[in-house]
Chains A and B, each alone.
Chain A
Amino acid sequence: DQQVKQNSPSLSVQEGRISILNCDYTNSMFDYFLWYKKYPAEGPTFLISISSIKDKNEDGRFTVFLNKSAKHLSLHIVPSQPGDSAVYFCAASASLTEAGTALIFGKGTTLSVSS
């Protein structure tokens, strides 16, 4: 059973428009959430994170929103650029548990930004 789900395997967006990537989780113990970005033949790189005490975190063109009641988070990229084309992974952790350092990843969403 997947504790972190990214239900959209792929997303296509035009350059300059908004990209919205979604992620759902099932474990109510998760309290820290991250997004990673992955280019082909490279490892994932950390992009942005959010703690469960917040509902929004912004870093430049990237904003993550958290809706705890719905167990849902989303990553907004505005404006989207062709260089944003990559696989985006959502990850979660239960920081207060024994295994708190472990991250549970979703299966990823492939974003394609066309110019």
Chain B
Amino acid sequence: DAGVIQSPRHEVTEMGQEVTLRCKPISGHDYLFWYRQTMMRGLELLIYFNNNVPIDDSGMPEDRFSAKMPNASFSTLKIQPSEPRDSAVYFCASSPRGGLARYEQYFGPGTRLTVT
């Protein structure tokens, strides 16, 4: 299995531009998570989906952030408009359904976003 795939790996953009991050979860996994990692706040959950349905988006910082999962093999995290404080590493993770296995999340390599 290829693992969780994220693209792009690096993104540099100017303030005010729209940014779209992409994620392909592991096939057969029912849960998909988006995290953001910063020095100040560490690794924080933004939103997660179960069977393509958003379950908890309480971690999404503000309306500029949105996430979709149109099908079981693809999700996007969009920031519009982007701001310098959005600079961070964004991780996507997926996990299988059932019991405690759903906690053993498989992370992608992350997208390093820099907003200038």
Binding site for B on A (CB under 8 A): 32, 34, 36, 41-46, 49, 51, 89, 91, 93, 95, 99, 101-108
The one of B4, B43, B106 that contacts A46, using a Cβ cutoff of 8 Å: B106
Q: Which of B89-109 contact A (CB under 8 A)?
A: 91, 93, 95, 100, 102-109
State whether A101 and B43 are in contact (beta carbons under 8 Å apart), knowing that A42-B109, A43-B109, A44-B107 are contacts in the complex.
no
* Residue in B41, B56, B91, B103 whose Cβ sees the most chain A Cβ within 10 Å: B103
In whole Å, how far is B112's beta carbon from the nearest beta carbon of chain A? 9
B residues in contact with A41, CB < 8 Å: 109-110
B95's nearest neighbour on chain A, judged by CB, is A101
Contact between B45 and A102 (Cβ–Cβ < 8 Å)?
yes
CB-defined contacts of B43 to chain A, threshold 8 Å: 44, 89, 105, 107-108
Which of B35, B44, B105, B110 has most chain A Cβ within 10 Å?
Answer: B105
B42 at the interface (CB under 8 A from A): yes
In the assembly, what is the distance between CA of A43 and CA of B95, in Å? Answer: 14
State the CA gap A36–B107 with chains docked (Å): 10
- If over half of B's interface residues share one DSSP class (helix, strand or loop), that class is named, otherwise mixed; here it is strand
Measured between alpha carbons, how far is A94 from B48 in the docked complex, in Å? 15
- Which residues of A are found within 8 Å of B93, using beta-carbon distances? 43
Task: Give the docked Cα–Cα distance between A105 and B56 (Å).
Answer: 16
B interface residue count range (under 10 / 10 to 19 / 20 to 34 / 35 or more): 20 to 34
Q: Which B residue sits closest to A101, measured CB to CB?
A: B102
A105 vs B109: C-alpha distance when bound (angstroms): 17
Of B35, B43, B45, B55, most A-chain CB atoms within 10 Å: B43
- Residue of A34, A42, A45, A102 with highest tally of chain B CB at under 10 A: A102
Q: Are A34's CB and B109's CB within 8 A?
A: no
User: Chain B nearest CB: distance from A37 CB in Å?
Assistant: 11
**Known contacts A44-B43, A51-B100, A95-B100: A102-B4 contact under CB 8 Å:** no
Question: What residues on B are CB-neighbors of A32 within 8 Å?
Answer: 100, 103
Known: A101-B95, A101-B103, A106-B42. 4 other contacts (CB 8 A): A41-B109, A44-B43, A46-B106, A49-B100
